[in-house]
């Protein structure tokens, strides 16, 4: 169901001259009625975006009157948020690893949990004795992982690969915004199939939602974010298994594979690794900050 159809269920308008404070209170109430868990924050982010201000500015200017255009746009975007459209798509960007990334419905919205993957890659690069490192970010989407690594580590040359040409367009925009040293090369590829050379690091945040779980996802995920970036077969392991099979022929000796996984997939992925990569000299499972399984690290 698109947002115009959903919006028919939402009748909410603002008059020109409505003060910022009153607009935020009204929008928060409307979003709470729609079931938004972060209603107040969502209203603030949306209004700050419309007014081209930092969110903190709103708190010091509660008496600032909205223009007719601001009031109308705010009402429209709040109605769309009440219909479950993600805030990141409404405002067109999302912060990840301290970087402001462009996002839209062509790509998955970067999650805070994925910062753990970036941390692990950067720590590994720091531990290596050689200065030049080659890496591939598989299923790059918005380019979040590739851009974050490039921005924090000048010694890494990165292939950012994705099957979706549309996703690569978004990744390209983020690379132009943040990859000032030109470390990132975009490449359309089905996993590692088109990778032109071996690398030292494979980093991947692949789809891992099961086909059975997909229909039960939150509406703001299921109805708006690209299914190609979420669903991965009956056990959620289809792409992870394919990548594990491809990895040995694309990693230099001593290379490392970093895999983000679902919170309940630790044991299953470890079993896959042991079966497909018996030659691995190191297999590790790391938890995120909430104590859930989140990252599998494989040394080959």
Mean pLDDT, the chain, rounded, equals 95
Confidence of residue 11 (pLDDT cuts 50, 70, 90): low
For the record, the structure tokens of 187 come out as: 């490449």
Q: Write the CATH number of the domain with boundaries 3-85.
A: 1.10.8
Whether 1 has a pLDDT exceeding 70, the answer reads no
CA-CA distance, 3 to 1, in Å (whole number)? 7
Among 144, 149, 142, CA closest to 121 = 149
Mean pLDDT, range 29-35, rounded to an integer: 96
Do 285 and 296 form a contact (C-beta atoms < 8 A)? yes
CA-CA distance, 93 to 82, in Å (whole number)? 19
Mean pLDDT, range 282-296, rounded to an integer: 96
Query: Phi, psi at residue 291, to the nearest 5°?
Result: 85, 10
pTM above 0.85, yes or no: yes
For residue 8, the model assigns a pLDDT of: 45
Question: Which tens digits make up the pLDDT trace of 57-101?
Answer: 999 999 999 999 999 999 999 999 999 999 999 999 999 999 999
For residue 13, the model assigns a pLDDT of: 85
Q: Domain 105-299 class? A: alpha beta
Question: Which tens digits make up the pLDDT trace of 155-190?
Answer: 999 999 999 999 999 999 999 999 999 999 999 999
* b/e per residue 162-184 (b: at least 16 CB within 10 A): bbbeebbebbbbbbeebbeeebb
CA-CA distance, 175 to 187, in Å (whole number)? 13
Mean pLDDT, range 41-56, rounded to an integer: 97
For residue 130, the model assigns a pLDDT of: 74
Concatenate the DSSP letters of all residues of 73-106 into one string: HHHHHHHHHHTT--HHHHHTEEEETTEEEE--TT
Q: What is the largest CA-CA distance in the chain?
A: 68
Indicate the pairing of strand 199-204 with strand 156-162.
Answer: unpaired
Confidence of residue 195 (pLDDT cuts 50, 70, 90): very high
Do 50 and 42 form a contact (C-beta atoms < 8 A)? no
Q: Torsion over CA of 175, 177, 178 and 180, rounded to 10 degrees?
A: 90
Do 175 and 189 form a contact (C-beta atoms < 8 A)? no
Query: Phi, psi at residue 114, to the nearest 5°?
Result: -70, -15
Residue spans of the domains in the chain: they are 3-85, 105-299
Whether 261 has a pLDDT exceeding 60, the answer reads yes
What is the percent of the chain where pLDDT is above 90?
A: 93
> Measured in Å, how far apart are the chain's first and last C-alpha atoms?
46
Question: Which tens digits make up the pLDDT trace of 88-138?
Answer: 999 999 999 999 999 999 999 999 999 999 999 999 999 987 778 999 999
């Amino acid at each position: 169901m698109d947002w115009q159809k959903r919006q028919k269920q939402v009748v909410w308008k603002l008059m020109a001259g409505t003060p910022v404070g009153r607009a935020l209170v009204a929008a928060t109430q409307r979003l709470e009625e729609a079931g938004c868990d972060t209603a107040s924050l969502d209203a603030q982010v949306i209004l700050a975006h419309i007014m081209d201000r930092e969110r903190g500015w709103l708190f010091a200017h509660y008496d600032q009157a909205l223009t007719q255009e601001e009031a109308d746009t705010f009402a429209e975007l709040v109605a769309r948020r009440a219909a479950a459209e993600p805030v990141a798509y409404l405002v067109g960007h999302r912060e990840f690893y301290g970087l402001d990334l462009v996002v839209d419905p062509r790509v998955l919205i970067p999650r805070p949990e994925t910062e753990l993957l970036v941390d692990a890659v950067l720590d590994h690069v720091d531990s290596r004795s050689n200065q030049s490192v080659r890496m591939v970010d598989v299923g790059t989407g918005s380019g979040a992982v590739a851009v974050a690594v490039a921005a924090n580590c000048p010694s890494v040359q990165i292939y950012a690969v994705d099957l979706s040409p549309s996703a690569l367009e978004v990744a390209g925009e983020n690379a132009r915004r943040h990859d000032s040293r030109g470390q990132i090369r975009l490449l359309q590829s089905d996993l590692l199939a088109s990778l032109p050379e071996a690398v030292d690091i494979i980093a991947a945040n692949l789809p891992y939602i099961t086909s059975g779980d997909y229909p039960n996802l939150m509406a703001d995920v299921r109805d708006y974010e690209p299914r190609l970036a979420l669903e991965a077969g009956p056990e959620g392991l289809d792409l992870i298994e394919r990548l594990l099979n491809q990895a040995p022929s694309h990693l230099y000796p001593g290379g490392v594979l970093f895999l983000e996984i679902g919170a309940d997939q630790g044991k299953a992925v470890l079993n896959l690794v042991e079966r497909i990569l018996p030659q691995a000299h190191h297999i590790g499972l790391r938890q995120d900050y909430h104590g859930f399984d989140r990252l599998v690290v494989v040394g080959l």
